[in-house]
Amino acid sequence: MKGPAIFLAQFAGSEAPFDSLENMAKWAADLGYIGIQVPTDPSLFDLEVAADSQDYCDEIAGKVGQHGIQITELSTHLQGQLLAVHPAYEEMFAGFAAPEVRDNPKAWPEWATKQLVAAAKASKRLGLKAHATFSGGLLWHTMYPWPQRPAGLVEAGFQELAKRWRPVLDAFAENEVACCYEIHPGEDLHDGATFERFLDAVDGNPAASILYDPSHFMLQQLDYLRFIDLYHERIKAFHVKDAEFRPNGRSGVYGGYEGWVDRPGRFRSLGDGQIDFKQIFSKFAQYGYDGWAVLEWECALKHPEEGAREGAPFIREHMIRVTDKAFDDFAASGVDDAGNRKILGLD
């Protein structure tokens, strides 16, 4: 495992040090991070130029590298969302689109596809092995169905989602970069069962991978440790984000349309929630996860800069240097094959 790193999306802004990629790299380094996950916002990173220009990618890597920082992954969460948007959400998602297509939802999937293919190429130029994104959602409005879902609706939805993602996944596979879906409520890929459906629909495309974020599983009351057991081979990215779930007599998993502070399930800064990170990091050590541990700050209470300051030491303290020997090697008998047969009573 590599880290600690930090996702920049929640910090980027118009004032220093959050106004440029280089300034944020220095800010992150001063806090003890060695990596940054970079949102492909044009104000920070020109995705289209990066896809075609090795010089541009080398320049970006050099600017952040002078502060001892590496780029861990690029992020296209917004573009991935726009690859599949149900019409009920068009008004709310319009701000995710580039100005030239913002008022034309029918153009969003084509624009998003071009962006995602560019992200695959740019990731390769930067020497990255994983990429962070969202799946989008055509079925989310039927998540808790009333009336009941018509027969074949789910299958049709995943067939269409797979059709839209196939050329993107092929581009990531060609560039040897894992396309990591953040498994997230609001997306059609929001738990293990839906990821399995999607994986089947894309015929197990080798690029189709998972960005593991336990906070979204806590809020769904899903077993986030067992999830690692089941899907560790496809987990190629990791958001270290805390959360808590405090059900009450008025509201539960669905949140009662309350604001984040008052919801039973809410995100917290690292160490302030209920996530068992010791067990998570142990699971990743057990399965040989070799990607990055990236703080994503989203807290209903704590100031973001305070959360960022606390995040680097928290991650560093939880990372496990995997042992290269067994604890009882000192007692090894050095028995060979013949000796083993003797122990078994075969000779």
Per-residue pLDDT, 263:
97
Report the DSSP pairing between strands 130-133 and 70-76. parallel
CATH of the domain at 145: 3.20.20.150
Number of domains in the chain: 1
Owning domain of residue 238:
2-343
Q: HSE on the CB side for 214, CA within 13 Å?
A: 29
CA 227, CA 213: separation in Å to the nearest integer?
11
Q: Which region, left, alpha or beta, applies to residue 332 given φ > 0 means left and ψ of -120 to 50 means alpha?
A: beta
What are the residues whose beta carbons fall under 8 Å from the beta carbon of 217, sequence distance 6 or more? 183, 191, 223, 224, 227
What are the residues whose beta carbons fall under 8 Å from the beta carbon of 168, sequence distance 6 or more? 83, 113, 116, 117, 120, 179
> How many CB atoms sit inside 10 A of residue 192's CB?
17
What are the φ and ψ backbone dihedral angles of 288, each rounded to 5 degrees? 75, 30
Per-residue pLDDT of the chain (347 residues; tens, 9 = 90+): 999 999 999 999 999 999 999 999 999 999 999 999 999 999 999 999 999 999 999 999 999 999 999 999 999 999 999 999 999 999 999 999 999 999 999 999 999 999 999 999 999 999 999 999 999 999 999 999 999 999 999 999 999 999 999 999 999 999 999 999 999 999 999 999 999 999 999 999 999 999 999 999 999 999 999 999 999 999 999 999 999 999 999 999 999 999 999 999 999 999 999 999 999 999 999 999 999 999 999 999 999 999 999 999 999 999 999 988 888 888 888 889 998 999 999 97
